[in-house]
Chains A and B, each alone.
Chain A
Amino acid sequence: MTATALSVRNIRKSFGEDEVLKGISFDAHSGDVISIIGSSGSGKSTLLRCINFLERADSGEVAVAGEIIKTHKAKDGQLSPSDKHQLKQMRARLGMVFQNFNLWAHRTVLENIIEGPVQVLKHPKKKAVADAEILMDKVGISQKRNHYPSQLSGGQQQRVAIARALAMQPTVMLFDEPTSALDPELVNEVVQVIRQLATEKRTMIMVTHEMALAREISTHLIFLHNGRIEEQGPPQLIMENPKSDRLRQFIGKF
């Protein structure tokens, strides 16, 4: 039995009248790669964003490596983090990779990568740079270390964003459709990097439309529909034998 890296309990979230997440629970053990699939608007991004509190859920619980993020009900009915300091630590342990990269435009590749370690983890700059070298090598972006994001292709930017998240030495990596903003010919270079992370047994939660990738690297697949987990299990099993019509339809589209 491996340790639970991330535990999500009963997350609910509404936007106005619209209940987008209707009680989501799952666990990720150390080394798990969980892919979350589902049609557009099914709440995948919202779920990821609720996990690191970029979005406030209405209720539920998130624990990283066994430590529950402390919350209380705020006046507006949403779940608010009670301990700012703890939240910062927790966020530092959840590496997030966004669909649109969200690199800081005024910082070079290297500066983007060392920003978190230096500012949040308070690593000495020298160590942060040394660590960054290794990561830049790993994602194949070393030659571009002094470039600004606007001078990079989408694929290169996303690889930098992955390196930036990895630099925090996170317990869990969260990916929100990391390849869907990319031109088709650039998808592969990013997929390569993610594939490599999977082989290193990194714990990852990945929202994706890349069914082939999900099938290849995931240990567990979650199909989200209308704010609920409609079906989940080992990817091969689920994809070859979908129980629900909806999943069958969804897979049929690919």
Chain B
Amino acid sequence: MVIHTYIEYMGWGAGGWGDEFFFGFLMTLKISLSAYALAVIFGFFATTAKLSKNIFLRFMAVSYTTVVRALPEILMVLIVYFTVAGLAETALVKAGFVDKGFQFNPFWAAVFALAFVAGAFMAEVLRAARLAVPEGQIESATAIGMSSLQIFMRVILPQMMRHAIPGMGNLWLSITKDSAIVAVLGAFSELLYTGYRAAAATKEYVFFYGVTAVLFLLITLISIAVIQWMERHLNRGYA
């Protein structure tokens, strides 16, 4: 009897929440993937700035990583979300691209917010990985006349990635979990917000938050398998 109700709860279509959870699952993956890709870019620029000779760039990058890493993720996400959404709207309206009353797509504002936070951690991972590439190998590439771009692409990047993979893997795992924070914004239905709505509508809190947790666990499990495969793949040929 009870089991029967739960199966109905997870049904597809109007009566059940199965389809909502399915799309929530996809939405969580979509947010996480987009935010992660953007975080790699942020992290890359922040690292480059941190390792550059320009004092101003270094200062900006150090401020970014220090401040962001010292503040709660939820606070950063709220600040960046409101700022980005607000500023982008004003800018777009002013530039005349859109009409007054336009609302910035909350998806991208949320992605940007998550990526902004994760980028600071990514910067640390990438910096450590960059510094793990022995200086001598860069010198020997310089000495035979390779260009900076060639050195980066052929000597630094491949070796950096090997050192960066564990840290980048952990960051992926935490970005999938941090993506739950955007549920607080209530703007679109990723996994946790779906769980929240289902639980509130049915008063079946244990069941629906349980389902939410299981689905997040599923993401973790799949991710770990993929990360391990990549580590093995990248470590081929090393003693």
Q: Which residues of A are at the interface with B, using a C-beta cutoff of 8 A? A: 52, 54, 84, 87-92, 94-96, 98, 100-106, 108, 115-116, 119-120, 148, 150-151, 161, 164-165, 168
CA–CA, A18 to B143, complex, Å?
25
5 closest A-B pairs by CB: A102-B136, A91-B145, A102-B140, A92-B145, A88-B145
In the complex, the answer to whether B239 meets A116 with C-beta atoms within 8 Å is no
CA–CA, A105 to B142, complex, Å?
16
**Smallest beta-carbon distance B183→chain A, Å:** 42
> A92 to chain B: which residues have CB within 8 Å?
144-145
In the complex, the answer to whether B146 meets A105 with C-beta atoms within 8 Å is no
- B side interface size, CB within 8 A: 21
Residue from A94, A98, A120, A151 in contact with B139 in the complex, judged by beta carbons closer than 8 Å: A98
Q: Interface centre among B144, B145, B238, by most A CB within 10 Å?
A: B144
**Dominant secondary structure of chain B at its interface with chain A:** helix
Per-position 1/0 for B131-157, Cβ under 8 A of A: 000101101111111110010001100
Residue from A52, A91, A98, A148 in contact with B239 in the complex, judged by beta carbons closer than 8 Å: A148
> B137 to chain A: which residues have CB within 8 Å?
102-105
- Given A105-B159, A119-B150, A151-B239, also A98-B140 (CB < 8 A): yes
> B158 to chain A: which residues have CB within 8 Å?
106
In the complex, the answer to whether A102 meets B239 with C-beta atoms within 8 Å is no
CA–CA, A230 to B191, complex, Å?
76
Q: Interface centre among B136, B137, B141, B238, by most A CB within 10 Å?
A: B137
CA–CA, A103 to B162, complex, Å?
17
B237 within 8 A of A: yes
Besides A96-B143, A106-B158, 20 more A-B contacts (Cβ < 8 Å) are A54-B139, A89-B145, A91-B143, A91-B145, A96-B140, A98-B139, A102-B136, A102-B137, A102-B139, A104-B137, A104-B141, A105-B137, A105-B238, A106-B162, A116-B144, A116-B146, A120-B144, A150-B238, A150-B239, A168-B145
